[in-house]
Amino acid sequence: MALLTREYLKERFKEHQLTVIEQPFTYPSGLFSKAQGVNIVATKTAKDTLENINTTFYQEAVLLIEAFINQLLTNPEVFSPPLKAAT
């Protein structure tokens, strides 16, 4: 089952033009034995440095906007203008 899942994931990633590598690892399984697993790593290589920088800036902007909206929803009073004293 694990092999079928691994092959399915690799094919799906490749359909999206991602570079796929397998990263084998071992882990303890039981008292004296070890088992082997495989991480599937999918990456996208930027055509040039500018594309990579733009992607990074976009991702950071999205995170900042999400943080701002979350803060606005949880603490709206922080963004409310101060009330003026009656004259």
pLDDT at residue 60, rounded to an integer: 67
Residue whose tokens read 């930027």: 46
Report yes or no on 84 lying in a domain. Answer: no
Quick: pLDDT tens for 7-48: 888 888 888 878 888 888 888 887 888 888 888 888 877 666
Provide the domain limits for residue 34.
1-45
Q: Please state the rounded mean pLDDT for residues 50-62.
A: 61
Do 15 and 37 sit in the same domain of this protein? yes
User: Which residue type sits at 71?
Assistant: Q
| Residue 39: closest CA among 20, 19, 23 | 23
Bridge partners of 43, per DSSP, are: 19
Residue whose tokens read 């996208």: 44
Report yes or no on 64 lying in a domain. Answer: yes
Do 2 and 39 sit in the same domain of this protein? yes
Do 35 and 55 sit in the same domain of this protein? no
pLDDT at residue 48, rounded to an integer: 64
Report yes or no on 36 lying in a domain. Answer: yes
Do 53 and 24 sit in the same domain of this protein? no
| pTM for this model (two decimals) | 0.46
Do 5 and 34 sit in the same domain of this protein? yes
Grade residue 74 by pLDDT with cuts at 50, 70 and 90: confident
Do 51 and 11 sit in the same domain of this protein? no
